[in-house]
Amino acid sequence: MDNNKLRDEILELLWSMREKGSKSFTEVVSGINDSGASDALRKMEKSGLVTISDDDVELTDKGDARSRDLIRRHRLAERLFHDVLEVGMQESEETACEIEHFLSPSVTDSVCAFLGHPPTCPHGKPIPRGECCSKYRNEVKPLVMQLKELDVGSKGRIIFIVPSENSRLERLASMGIVPGSIIKLKQKRPSFVLEIDETTLAIDSVIAEEIYVKEQR
Ligand SMILES: [Zn+2]
Ligand SMILES: [Zn+2]
């Protein structure tokens, strides 16, 4: 692996490990498939990306910012390839690993807006928020949006679902609410009513925020 790629892989691994509450030097070295990992970590300490003491590696502010960007690009790319382009999970993951190194910040924010600012990747891991996520209006017309943003009377195809409780997915699936299904939004108030396969269903507004659709014309 070239040095910059190796450094970035380590930064991403450190971020994912921290999500699980780990910061072990040994774990980083065994998690990176490259004999230069240990040396690379020492170099990263010199360039101010990490601090190392005993078996602990921690991201500095500088390292944290760079990891955050990489993780954000990686997880957004996974959403794009897996959910929108419907590339298999393995291939999405590989493509995400390549693309994360060259997406510029503004392109990243466009991808995020295009996908309706998804809060998680397809594996359910959080996507670090970007500036675009808090702006009220976006210049980019989204391809994917929350069901609650769809106009009444419009049809949408479900692209992905981000449930706040995992048990919800099963319940939604039993109603036919799964990625790929076409739904028609019949009403938004007082509750969300939609039609799916000629069946009319009412759902909570919270759930309408968790279903991401692409408008069908
Ligand atoms: Zn993921
Ligand atoms: Zn965003």
> How would you write the chain as a 3-class SS string?
CCHHHHHHHHHHHHHHHHHCCCCEHHHHHHHCCCCCHHHHHHHHHHCCCEEEECCEEEECHHHHHHHHHHHHHHHHHHHHHHHHCCCCHHHHHHHHHHHCCCCCHHHHHHHHHHCCCCCECCCCCECCCCHHHHCCCCCCCCCEEEHHHCCCCCEEEEEEECCCCCHHHHHHHHCCCCCCCEEEEEECCCCEEEEECCEEEEECHHHHHHEEEEEEC
Q: What is the pLDDT of residue 76?
A: 94
Please tell me the distance between residue 70's alpha carbon and the centre of ligand 1 in angstroms.
12
Residue ranges covered by each domain of the chain: 3-59, 65-134, 144-216
Please tell me the distance between residue 191's alpha carbon and the centre of ligand 1 in angstroms.
32
Ligand nearest the Cα atom of residue 109: 2
Sign of CA dihedral 20, 18, 91, 30: negative
| Residue that the structure tokens 């072990």 belong to | 24
- Confidence band for 213, pLDDT divided at 50, 70 and 90: very high
- Confidence band for 88, pLDDT divided at 50, 70 and 90: confident
| Residue that the structure tokens 């790929």 belong to | 180
Please tell me the distance between residue 153's alpha carbon and the centre of ligand 1 in angstroms.
33
Task: Give CATH for domain 144-216.
Answer: 2.30.30.90
Please tell me the distance between residue 125's alpha carbon and the centre of ligand 1 in angstroms.
6
Ligand nearest the Cα atom of residue 114: 2
Please tell me the distance between residue 90's alpha carbon and the centre of ligand 1 in angstroms.
10
Q: What is the pLDDT of residue 1?
A: 77
Q: Which amino acid belongs to residue 117? A: H
Task: Identify the CATH class of 65-134.
Answer: mainly alpha
* Span 12-50, pLDDT tens digits: 999 999 999 999 999 999 999 889 999 999 999 999 999
Please tell me the distance between residue 183's alpha carbon and the centre of ligand 2 in angstroms.
25
Q: What is the pLDDT of residue 140?
A: 64
Ligand nearest the Cα atom of residue 100: 1
- The Cα 102–Cα 74 span in angstroms is 11
* Span 157-189, pLDDT tens digits: 999 999 888 788 888 899 899 999 999 999 998
Q: What is the pLDDT of residue 157?
A: 94
Please tell me the distance between residue 109's alpha carbon and the centre of ligand 2 in angstroms.
6
Please tell me the distance between residue 129's alpha carbon and the centre of ligand 2 in angstroms.
6
Asked if the model's pLDDT at residue 141 lies above 80, the reply is: no
Q: Name which of 88, 98, 210 is nearest 144 in CA terms.
A: 210
- The Cα 198–Cα 133 span in angstroms is 35
Q: What is the pLDDT of residue 33?
A: 84
Tell me phi and psi for residue 208, to 5 degrees.
-65, -20
Please tell me the distance between residue 181's alpha carbon and the centre of ligand 2 in angstroms.
25
In this prediction the pTM is 0.78
* Span 43-64, pLDDT tens digits: 999 999 999 999 999 999 999 9
- Confidence band for 129, pLDDT divided at 50, 70 and 90: very high
Please tell me the distance between residue 101's alpha carbon and the centre of ligand 2 in angstroms.
19
Average pLDDT for the chain = 90
- The Cα 142–Cα 53 span in angstroms is 45
Asked if the model's pLDDT at residue 97 lies above 90, the reply is: no
Asked if the model's pLDDT at residue 135 lies above 80, the reply is: no
Please tell me the distance between residue 93's alpha carbon and the centre of ligand 1 in angstroms.
7
C-alpha angle 147-199-184 in degrees, rounded to nearest 5: 30
Pick 114 or 72 by higher pLDDT. Answer: 72
